[in-house]
Homo-oligomer: A and B are copies of this chain.
Amino acid sequence: MTTARQLRIGDVADEVGITARTIRYYEELGLLGTDDERSKGSHRLYDDADIARLKELVRLRDLLGISLEQLIELADDARAQQCLRDRWHASTDDADRISIIEAAIPLRERQLELVRERKRNLSEFEAELTGKLASLRRELRKLTR
- A97's partner among B97, B104, B119, B143 (CB-CB below 8 A) is B143
In addition to A65-B65, A98-B143, 9 A-B residue pairs with Cβ atoms within 8 Å of each other are A59-B125, A63-B122, A98-B140, A101-B136, A108-B129, A108-B136, A109-B133, A119-B123, A122-B122
- Known pairs A63-B122, A98-B144, A143-B97; A112 contacts B129 (CB<8 A): yes
**Copy number of this protein in the oligomer?**
2
Interface of A is mostly: helix
By beta carbon, the residue of chain B nearest A118 is B122
The 6 closest A-B CB pairs, nearest first, are A112-B129, A101-B140, A115-B126, A119-B122, A108-B133, A94-B143
- Shortest distance from the beta carbon of A89 to any chain B beta carbon, whole Å: 16
Known A140-B98, A140-B102: A108·B125 in contact at CB below 8 Å: no
